[in-house]
Structure 1
Amino acid sequence: MECFGKNYAMAHRLRYVTSAVEHQSSKSQVYAHPIIFGLLVFFLVLFPLYLSAQILGNELTTSSSKARKAYLNAEKFFSELNFSDAEKQLQRALKYDPSFIEAWLLLGEMKNEQGAALEAIAAYQYAIGIDSMFFPPVFGILGKVQLDEGFFAQASSNLKVYYSLPDLRPEVRAQLKQLIEKADFAENLVKNPYDIRMVNISSAINTVEDEYVNSLRLDGSFMLLTRKFKGEDENVFIESFFTSSLNDSIWSQSLPFEVPWKSRGNMGALTFSPDGKTLYFAGCGWHEGFGSCDLYSSKLEKGSWSDPVNMGKTVNTNSWDSQPTITPDGKELYFVSNRSGGYGGSDIWKVMLLEDNQWSKPINLGAKVNTSGNEMSPFIHPDGKTLYFSSDKLPGLGGSDLFVSRLDKAARWSKPENLGVPVNSIDDEMNLIVDASGMKAYISSNKISGFGGYDIFTFTLPDEFRPEAVSYVKAVITDAISSQSLEADFKLILLSNNEIIATGKSSLEDGSLLAVLISGNDYALHIQKEGYLFHSENFSLKEYSQSEPFLLDIRLQPVERGSKVVLKNVFFELNKAEILSESTEELLMITQFLKKNADLIVELGGHTDSTGPEALNEDLSFKRAEAVKKFFIKQGIDSDRVLIRGFGSKIPIADNITEEGRALNRRTELNVIGFK
C-alpha cells in the first residue's frame, strides 16, 4: 500500500505488530519496542490497517553509519526506559544526519512518553517536514497529541489529512471522524469564550493548600469545603473539612467541620441538604458498609450531628457509591456509582423517597446524561430540575468538562450543554455549585492566580446555563413575650394540591428555619409548637417569578385569652362564602390544634375590604366565618367552642387604596376568647 510510505525503513521492526494486535500474546523483540509500544501505541487500537500493511524494505533512511549506530543504541535505551541515554543517542544521530526521519519519530514518541508534549509535537513536525508521506499515521499521532494539548485547529487539520487517505477501515474512519468532530467542537468553544470574571472568594477560605467547594446552604450564607494537604509522608494527602459563614458580604475564617463520630473511618463527598440540617456523604471502608464506599446521612439535632445511618442495601452496592446531592424537598437523591448496569465507568443515578419513608431502587439517568466514560460530581440545583455534572466523554476541551442538563415536564433529561470557556479547559474541571438565584456559581480551580494550589472562585453564570431562579423563606421563630428562640415544627405545603413539600423543626439555637420556594407556585407555611398558638404564612409566586427571599420574624403567642392569628391560607370564591380547596390543609391543621387544646373557646372573625356597600360586606364576612365554623364542626369540633362574627371593613389592618392593602384586609382571624 503506497499510502503507508514506499520506503519505511523501520518497517522490519513492525513485523511483530500484526501478531501483537491479532493475538495480544507475546512481547516484541527489543528493537520493536519503540514502534510497537511507543510511537504506534495509539494506532494499535485505532488504526490497525497500517500496522498490518505490507512490509517494505529493511534499511533506515540515513546513509550515515554513525547516525545509524547512534539510532540503534537509542532504540535499545528506549526499550529499557532509559530515556536520558536514549535522547543523547538520538541527538547524536540527528547531529550526523538532521534529515534522519526515524530518529525524529522516535524522539517525538520519547518526548510524548515523558509528558513533554510540545517537544513531541516539534519532533513529529520535523519528520513530516522531511517527507510527509514517509509514515502517514504520524498525522494521526500528531493530531491526537495536539488535541490533548488544546491545539484544536492544528489537531483537526492533521487528523483530516490522515482521514483523507484511501483504504481506511470503516471503524477506523469512524473513530477518526469522532476525533475531528471533538477537535472542531473544542475549537469553536475556544473561539467563542464567555465574558466571565473569576473572583477569588476569600483569603479566609483559600490557602496555600488545595480547597474544593462541597456545598452551599440555600441562603448562600454557609459553605462546606474540603481542604487537601500533605501529611507527614509527602506522598500521602489528607483531606479535612471546613465551614465558613457569610456575614455582611464577608466570609468568616474557615473552621474545622467537626462531627462526634469522625473516628468511624474515612469519609468524603460531603454535602448538606439546602437547609443545612441534613448531611449526606460517602463513608469508605466502614465495617457495616456494603462496598468500597457507601452513602450515609446524618441529621443536625440539638446542635450536634446524629450518628450516621447507612442508606441501605437498596441504595448501596458492593461497588463504589459516592458524591450525593439532594433535591430541596429531600425526596430525590442523585449520586455517582460504578455499579453494574450502567453505561460506562461511573454513572449518575438517583433514588426517590417513597411514602413509607424508604428509598426506591436506584434509577440510572440514562444515555442522555451518562456515557461510556465517567460522569461525576452531580449537583442538583434547588429548582429540582437543573443538573450540573462533569464528564470525560461528552464533547469538550479535554479531560473532564462541566455540563448542564435540564429535566423537562415529561421527566426527560435534555442533551447536556458544555459550559464553555473559561469555565472549562484542557484540564479536569470536576464540580460546580450554583446559588439559589441561579446567577452566582462557585468552582475550584488552579488555573487562575490565587493563594496556591486549587482555590475556590465565584463568577456570574451566563444566562443560557442558569437554572430557574428560586426564592426561599428564612424565618426566625421566637416567643412573642420573652423573645426567646423556639424550636418549632414547620410544614411547607404546595397549595395547588395540598402536597407537603417540606417538614422539619426550626433551630434550637436561634429559632431559624429555611425552605425553598419555586416560582410558579403558591405555598402555605404552618408553624406549631405545644403551648403556643399556631402561625401560618402564604407565599404567592404563581403569577410571577421572584428570587428575593422572604425574611420573616415570627413571634409565636402563648395560648392565652386575647391571643389571635390570621388564617392566611383560608380562601373563598370571589364575593362568595364557598371555601376553596386550597384551604383544606390549613383548616385541618387548625382542627388538630383545637382537638389538642380541647378546653379552648375561640372566635372566628370575618373581615373584608371597603369595596362595595358595608351592609353587604358585613353579611359576606359573617357567612365566611360561618363556613369555616361548619368545616370544624364536620371534623368533630363542638359548636359551642367556636363563636363567629362578621366585621365587614370596620377593622382594616392595611390601606384600602392599593390591591395589596385590600388583599390584607380580606381575611379570617381566630381569636382565643376563653377556656371551658
Structure 2
Amino acid sequence: MINRILRILLITLTFSGIAYGQYSEKELQQLIQEGNTEKLVRANSELLLNGMFRQAATIAENLVSTSPENANFQYRLGYAYLYYHPDINSPIDPLTKACANVTQKYDASSSKEQQAPIDAVYYLGKAHHRLGNIKKAVDHYQKFLELAGKKNILSSYAELGLIQCEVAEELMNNPSDDKLSNIGDSINTSGPEYAPIVSLDGTSLFFTSRRLWKDEENEGMIDPATNNYLEDIFVSFQDENGKWKSPEILDFCKPNQNEATVSVSIDERKVYVYNDESGNGDIYYSQYNNGTFNAIQPIDKEAVNTKNWEPHLYVTPDGSEVYFVSDRPGGFGGRDIYVMKKTGNDSWSEPQNLGPEINTPYDEDAPFVSIDNESLYFASNGSKSMGGFDIFCAKRNEEGNWGTPANMGYPINSPADDAFYTTTTDGFKGYITSFRAGGKGDLDIYEIQHFPPRNSNTAILKGQIFVVNDQPLPEDIAITVACTNCDKNSSITVFPRIRDGVYFTKLEKCKEYELTYTYNNGKTTFHTAKLATNCIPEYEEIYKPVYLRLDDMKIIPYYQLKIETIDIASNASVGTVTVQILDEDGSVLEDLQTDESGMYTSKILQSRDEGGNANLKFKITKDGYLSKTIDLSFELTDESILNAQLLMEKASVGEDLGQILKLDPIYFDLNSSFIRKDAKEKLQKIIDAMNNNPNMVIECGSHTDCRESYEYNEWLSDRRAKRTVNYISKRISNPGRISGKGYGETQLVNDCGCEGDVVSDCSEAEHQLNRRTEFRIIKN
C-alpha cells in the first residue's frame, strides 16, 4: 500500500512496451517447468510491469538458478525482491551481482541479454539506503548519475536520494530520546501488519493485517502479487497488565475483499476503511449499530471520493475538521493532504489543499491530528525525509494555520518507509508502521515512548459510564460537555465507547464545565455533574466515572476503593504488598495483594449508600518493611473513586524503630528511671509495631547525661533500660523479643560532656536530649 504508485512508475521505466500479464499458481508452475528461457524472460517482464513482484521473483529465481552469472537475471531478481520480499536485506546480493555487469544498451525484451541496465546501480543504492548503509547508498546514487546523466527519469530520484541521505546521516548522528520497539508477536506476524490506530487511552489498537483467519474462512484468498492473504482489519485490546490480547477481526470484513484501516472515531463506533473496488481507491466507513459493525459503504462526504485516488481520511476528535489524501489535479504533486471544515450541523466547506507548507512535489499521506487540535502528524517522502516515507509534525500557529513541519527524527523515522502515526492523549505513546531491519517480517507495527511526552499544557476529560451488574451500555447515551465561563459558548456532545463506557474530550485550562448525560437520542436527561480544570501549564487528565442503574436510568454511588502502597522515604510505589482490610469493628472485609506497582482496586464499599463515612483499618505486611495497621476514614459523597494511600516504612536491622515511626526518643527526668506520662503514648506505638511484627527483636538502649560519675550513670541507664523493657514486655506477644542495655554517658547526642574538670555550660534542655531510650532493631 505504501509507495505503490511510485513503484509502478519505476517499473515502467525499464520494462515499458511489454504487455500486462499475470498467472494462476498452477499456470506459473507449469510455465517454469515447461517454458524455455525466452518465455520465462517474457513472462517475468510482464509480471514486473504489472506489479506482480512475487510471481516475477519466482520466475527470476528459476532463471538465476540456471544461469547465476547472468547479470540480467540477477537484476530481475533483485528488482522484484526490492518491492516484494519481506526480508529487507534480500535485494542486496542479486543487485550487487547485477551491478558488476551493466550496459547503456540494455534490451529488456531479449532473452539473450546477459547484462543489467544501469538502472540496477540506482536500485542497489536504494536497497542500501533503506538499510541505513548511507555511504554505500551515496556511492551508488552518484555512480548512477555519472552513468545515466540527466535524461534518465530515475536521475531525479537519485538526486532526491542523495538529499535524503544527508538528512538521514544528520538525524542518525543526533538521535532523539524517544524509545522505539517492535510491538511483538501478539500483533506482528511474518506477514505485513500496518496502519495502526491506537485509542486515546492506549487500550485498543486497530490495524490492517494479511493473515489467515482463526476459522480459516479466508484460506485460499491469496493476493498473487505478494502471496499474502487479502487485507483485513483487526483490533486488539490490552489486558489488565497492559499486554495486547489476541487480535479479533472486525465484523464487516469479507474473506474475498480487501479492507484496510484508515482511521477510527474516538468513540470507536465508526471505522473508516480504504476500499479499491472502484479501481482507484476510495474511503468507505462502517458504523457500529445494534452490537455489530455494519457493512461498509462510501463516505457520505461527496467531495472526498473522486475518480482519482483517495487512500486516507481522518476526522478530528472534536468533529470540526476532516483531513484526507488525494492525488486529484490541482495539487502540488503526487498525493496531497486536504481539509474540509464544518460550517453547520451537516454542512462542510469545500476541500482546501493545505498548501506548500505541508504538501510537496512528492507524496504526503496518513494525516492525524492530536486531541488538542494543535499538532498535525503526517507522512512524506520528500526532500526532508531520511528515505522513503518519514513522519512529520506541524504545529498550529496563532492564525490557526499549520506551520513548517519538522521531521520527527531518528529512531522514530528510518531510511526506509515509516508512516501511519497515531498517539494517546498524553502524547507519551505513539504507534507507527515501519519496514526496517530487525522486524518480524515485511511491514511491522512499532510502539514509541516519547521523552518528554508530546502533549503539554493540555486538559483532557476521560469519563466513564459503568453499568451496574455489567449490563450492556445503551447505544443512545450521550454526554454534552459545556464550558460555563469560557469567552464564548463552548459545548460538545460525545458518545461513550460501547465496550467500556469510556469517552474523551479536550477541555480548556482554568475553566469550569457542566456535564449533561442524556439518552433517548438526547431527549431525556438523567444526570448532571460539574468539574473544573486547573490553571497549571502541564498535562492534566480528569477521570470522571459514574455508575448507571438501568432499571430507573439513575446514577448511583458505586464506590471503588483504589489502594496504593507508597514508600514513605522515597515516595515511590512499593511492589506486591499483603493487605487485610478490616471494618471498624475489627471484622475482616477482604484479604488482598497489591500488584507489582503497589496498586489494587477493591469493591468492598460498592454497595454502601451515599452519605456518612466509612471507617476502615488496613493491615499491611511486606518483607523488609514495617507491618502495621492504618486507620482511614472515607467520606461517601457522589464521587465514586475513593483513594487509600498507605505509607510504608522500611525496617532494616540496626535502625532505630522510633525514628522509623517518626517518634521522638523516650526521655527521663534527671536521676530518675521512672516512665514519664508523656513517654507512654510513644511506647504504645512501639508496642503496636512489635505486635504487628511478631518476629521483630528489639534492644532498648538507655542513656544518661554527663552529670554524676561514670559508675552511677551506668547503673542509672541500666535501670532505665530494665524499666522500659518491663513496661513493653507486659504488652507484647513473646516478651523474649525485647532486651535492654544501659550505655551510661558513653553515647551523648551533643557536646554536653562534663568529665574530669570540665564544667558543661549546656542548658537543662540540652542535657535532657541525652537522657533517653532508643529502640534498635536486632532482627526483623
Normalised by the length of structure 2, the TM-score is 0.49
Matching of residue 552 in structure 1 with residue 545 in structure 2: yes
Q: Secondary structure at the match of 2:194?
A: strand
Which AA in structure 2 matches 1:342? Answer: G
Task: Evaluate the alpha carbon distance shift between residue 369 and residue 554 of structure 1 in structure 2; reply closer, same or farther with a 3 A threshold.
Answer: same
Which AA in structure 2 matches 1:186? Answer: A
Deviation for aligned residue 1:440: 0.8
Contact 1:215 1:272 in 2 (8 A): yes
Q: Secondary structure at the match of 1:431?
A: strand
Deviation for aligned residue 1:542: 4.6
In the other structure, the counterpart of 2:392 is 403
Contact 1:383 1:518 in 2 (8 A): no
Rounded Cα–Cα distance in structure 2 between residues aligned with 1:321 and 1:177: 28
Deviation for aligned residue 1:395: 1.8
Q: Secondary structure at the match of 2:541?
A: coil
Counting only pairs closer than 5 Å after superposition, residues 132-151 of structure 1 correspond to structure 2 as 150-151=132-133
In the other structure, the counterpart of 1:242 is 234
For residues 62-104 of structure 1, what are the alpha-carbon distances to aligned partners after superposition, in whole Å with 9 as ceiling and x for unaligned?
Answer: xxxxxxxxxxxxxxxxxxx9888997489xxxxxxxxxxxxxx
1:272 aligns with one of 237, 241, 264: 264
Contact 2:64 2:70 in 1 (8 A): no
Rounded Cα–Cα distance in structure 2 between residues aligned with 1:185 and 1:258: 40
Which AA in structure 2 matches 1:253? Answer: K
Contact 2:196 2:208 in 1 (8 A): yes
Matching of residue 300 in structure 1 with residue 282 in structure 2: no
Unaligned runs of 5+ residues in structure 1 are 1-20, 26-80, 91-105, 128-136, 565-651, 655-676
Contact 1:201 1:456 in 2 (8 A): yes
Which AA in structure 1 matches 2:281? Answer: C
In the other structure, the counterpart of 1:186 is 168
Deviation for aligned residue 1:211: 2.2
Matching of residue 358 in structure 1 with residue 347 in structure 2: yes
Q: Secondary structure at the match of 2:419?
A: coil
Task: Evaluate the alpha carbon distance shift between residue 303 and residue 264 of structure 1 in structure 2; reply closer, same or farther with a 3 A threshold.
Answer: farther
For residues 434-472 of structure 1, what are the alpha-carbon distances to aligned partners after superposition, in whole Å with 9 as ceiling and x for unaligned?
Answer: 111101111234536465544433121244966765523
In the other structure, the counterpart of 2:424 is 435
Q: Secondary structure at the match of 1:206?
A: coil
Rounded Cα–Cα distance in structure 2 between residues aligned with 1:174 and 1:270: 31
Rounded Cα–Cα distance in structure 2 between residues aligned with 1:173 and 1:234: 32
In the other structure, the counterpart of 2:750 is none
How many equivalent residue pairs?
A: 456
Deviation for aligned residue 1:433: 1.7
Larger radius of gyration: 2
Rounded Cα–Cα distance in structure 1 between residues aligned with 2:444 and 2:515: 39
2:529 aligns with one of 533, 536, 540: 536
Cα RMSD after superposing both structures: 4.9
Task: Evaluate the alpha carbon distance shift between residue 239 and residue 123 of structure 1 in structure 2; reply closer, same or farther with a 3 A threshold.
Answer: closer
In the other structure, the counterpart of 2:493 is 503
Deviation for aligned residue 1:497: 4.2
Q: Secondary structure at the match of 2:165?
A: helix
Rounded Cα–Cα distance in structure 2 between residues aligned with 1:112 and 1:264: 31
Rounded Cα–Cα distance in structure 1 between residues aligned with 2:284 and 2:99: 51
Contact 2:361 2:382 in 1 (8 A): yes
Deviation for aligned residue 1:327: 0.9
Deviation for aligned residue 1:547: 3.5
Counting only pairs closer than 5 Å after superposition, residues 41-120 of structure 1 correspond to structure 2 as 88=69, 117=92
Contact 2:391 2:419 in 1 (8 A): yes
In the other structure, the counterpart of 2:477 is 488
1:222 aligns with one of 204, 214, 218: 204
In the other structure, the counterpart of 1:526 is 516
Between 497-506 and 142-151, the greater mean CA deviation after superposition: 142-151
Task: Evaluate the alpha carbon distance shift between residue 339 and residue 522 of structure 1 in structure 2; reply closer, same or farther with a 3 A threshold.
Answer: farther
Q: Secondary structure at the match of 1:390?
A: strand
Percent identity reads 22
Rounded Cα–Cα distance in structure 1 between residues aligned with 2:94 and 2:154: 27
Deviation for aligned residue 1:218: 1.9
Contact 1:121 1:142 in 2 (8 A): no
Contact 1:386 1:467 in 2 (8 A): no
Q: Secondary structure at the match of 1:186?
A: helix
Normalised by the length of structure 1, the TM-score is 0.56
Contact 1:520 1:544 in 2 (8 A): no
Contact 1:438 1:469 in 2 (8 A): no
1:377 aligns with one of 348, 366, 378: 366
Q: Secondary structure at the match of 1:491?
A: strand
Contact 1:475 1:551 in 2 (8 A): yes
Contact 2:268 2:497 in 1 (8 A): no
Contact 1:473 1:517 in 2 (8 A): no
Structure whose residues are more often helix by fraction: 1
Task: Evaluate the alpha carbon distance shift between residue 547 and residue 264 of structure 1 in structure 2; reply closer, same or farther with a 3 A threshold.
Answer: farther
Rounded Cα–Cα distance in structure 1 between residues aligned with 2:209 and 2:174: 33
Task: Evaluate the alpha carbon distance shift between residue 118 and residue 334 of structure 1 in structure 2; reply closer, same or farther with a 3 A threshold.
Answer: same
Task: Evaluate the alpha carbon distance shift between residue 302 and residue 84 of structure 1 in structure 2; reply closer, same or farther with a 3 A threshold.
Answer: closer
Task: Evaluate the alpha carbon distance shift between residue 539 and residue 301 of structure 1 in structure 2; reply closer, same or farther with a 3 A threshold.
Answer: farther
In the other structure, the counterpart of 2:753 is none
In the other structure, the counterpart of 1:78 is none
Contact 1:354 1:360 in 2 (8 A): yes
Contact 2:171 2:410 in 1 (8 A): yes
Contact 1:218 1:275 in 2 (8 A): no
Contact 1:222 1:246 in 2 (8 A): yes
Task: Evaluate the alpha carbon distance shift between residue 468 and residue 450 of structure 1 in structure 2; reply closer, same or farther with a 3 A threshold.
Answer: farther
Unaligned runs of 5+ residues in structure 2 are 1-12, 18-61, 83-90, 103-117, 213-218, 558-635, 639-780
Task: Evaluate the alpha carbon distance shift between residue 312 and residue 182 of structure 1 in structure 2; reply closer, same or farther with a 3 A threshold.
Answer: closer
Deviation for aligned residue 1:222: 1.7
Matching of residue 517 in structure 1 with residue 507 in structure 2: yes
Contact 2:130 2:416 in 1 (8 A): no
Rounded Cα–Cα distance in structure 1 between residues aligned with 2:236 and 2:319: 23
For residues 629-651 of structure 1, what are the alpha-carbon distances to aligned partners after superposition, in whole Å with 9 as ceiling and x for unaligned?
Answer: xxxxxxxxxxxxxxxxxxxxxxx
